[in-house]
């Protein structure tokens, strides 16, 4: 008798906002949106993009979404393979993720009429945002990167354009039918998710609401598909440092001071440029969960006015 899998838990919305499915070259993508009834500051729309991990979703940027919806039109994208977006079994690559960003920006332009939007991306998604900016510079006005990958001191990446660090042998090993689902279930047990969030925070006191949502979204059908491409390094670009050096618009970077994501020694390749700002923000890789006021006090001036770069280091 074939065993019957238990039903997946119903996934609630990760944000208290309008959510829509958008058809795009990257498949069906999930897009949240909100905004003030009376926008007085005249800022362009803002796109927020969550990080990449086995349990990612727009829940990771919830504090920022709530903060900015009072000031300007704000959108939150769930990348292919995550949240309510298309999770089918297919290759997950930087190209797919970047195409999803382009599609979200096109929707924002159509709805808001702004020539360019601002974008904030977290961790590995910073690489997709940088690629989108290089490919279509007119669509992004200002770019904020929270705990971005690509600045580690271990090895900078000046490899082939459009390539990935993917390890086909590792992907094949992880996705063998015999243990594929078992491996993913083990990686996304609530206790394991809590362990990785503690490493992200660099502290014991993680956000419990985020932990609960991560535990739910990782139990949805197809949740393993993008996760295995991530674990096998197919979502890391070989040419990211070339892309970072090509960015000619304003870029703001938040560097974590605790946890697993505190190595930014590679920033020397761009930190001397006038369009780049580096800020050491006290906390882990998602510092806006820990002290939203302190984080936005540093970030808000970047959106509002043109001002000189401030290279604040550890």
pLDDT tens by residue, 256-279: 999 999 999 999 999 999 999 999
Asked whether the beta carbons of 143 and 133 are under 8 A apart, the reply is yes
Phi/psi at 128 (5° precision): -70, -40
Q: Give the C-alpha separation, 269 to 108, whole Å.
A: 32
Whether this prediction's pTM lies above 0.75 is answered by: yes
Q: Give the C-alpha separation, 148 to 135, whole Å.
A: 19
CATH topology of domain 18-304: Rossmann fold (3.40.50)
Q: Domain map of the chain by residue range?
A: 18-304
pLDDT value of position 239 = 97
pLDDT value of position 313 = 44
pLDDT tens by residue, 105-119: 999 999 999 889 999
pLDDT value of position 41 = 63
Strands 27-34 and 18-24: antiparallel
pLDDT value of position 311 = 43
| DSSP classification of residue 3 | P
- In angstroms, the Cα distances linking 133 to 99, 117, 119, 120 are 12, 11, 9, 12
> In the predicted model, what is the mean pLDDT of residues 1-9?
50
Tokens of 21: 């499915």
Ranking 39-48, 62-71, 197-206, 212-221 by mean pLDDT, the lowest is 39-48
pLDDT value of position 2 = 35
């Amino acid at each position: 008798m074939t065993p019957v899998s238990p039903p997946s838990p119903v996934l609630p919305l990760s944000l208290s906002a309008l959510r829509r499915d958008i058809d795009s070259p990257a498949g069906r993508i999930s897009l949240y949106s909100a905004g003030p009834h009376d926008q007085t500051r005249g800022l362009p729309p803002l796109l927020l993009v969550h990080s990449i991990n086995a349990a990612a979703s727009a829940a990771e940027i919830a504090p920022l979404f709530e903060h900015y919806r009072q000031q300007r039109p704000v959108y939150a994208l769930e990348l292919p393979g995550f949240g309510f977006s298309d999770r089918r079994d297919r290759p997950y690559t930087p190209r797919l993720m970047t195409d999803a960003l382009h599609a979200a920006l096109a929707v924002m332009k159509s709805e808001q009429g702004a020539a360019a939007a601002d974008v904030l991306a977290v961790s590995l998604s910073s690489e997709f945002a940088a690629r989108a900016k290089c490919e279509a510079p007119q669509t992004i006005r200002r770019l904020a990167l929270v705990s971005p990958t690509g600045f580690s001191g271990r090895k900078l990446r000046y490899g082939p354009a459009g390539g990935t660090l993917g390890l086909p042998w590792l992907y094949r090993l992880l996705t063998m039918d015999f243990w594929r689902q078992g491996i993913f279930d083990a990686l996304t047990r609530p206790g394991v998710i809590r362990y990785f969030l503690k490493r992200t925070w660099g502290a014991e006191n993680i956000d419990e609401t985020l932990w609960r949502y991560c535990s739910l979204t990782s139990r949805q059908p197809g949740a393993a598909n993008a996760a295995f491409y991530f674990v096998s390094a197919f979502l890391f670009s070989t040419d990211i440092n070339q892309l970072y050096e090509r960015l000619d618009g304003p870029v703001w970077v938040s560097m974590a001071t605790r946890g697993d994501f505190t190595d930014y020694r590679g920033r020397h390749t761009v930190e001397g440029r006038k369009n780049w700002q580096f800020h050491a923000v006290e906390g882990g890789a998602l510092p806006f969960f820990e002290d939203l006021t302190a984080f936005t006090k540093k970030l808000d001036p970047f959106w509002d006015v043109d001002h000189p770069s401030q290279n604040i280091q550890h």
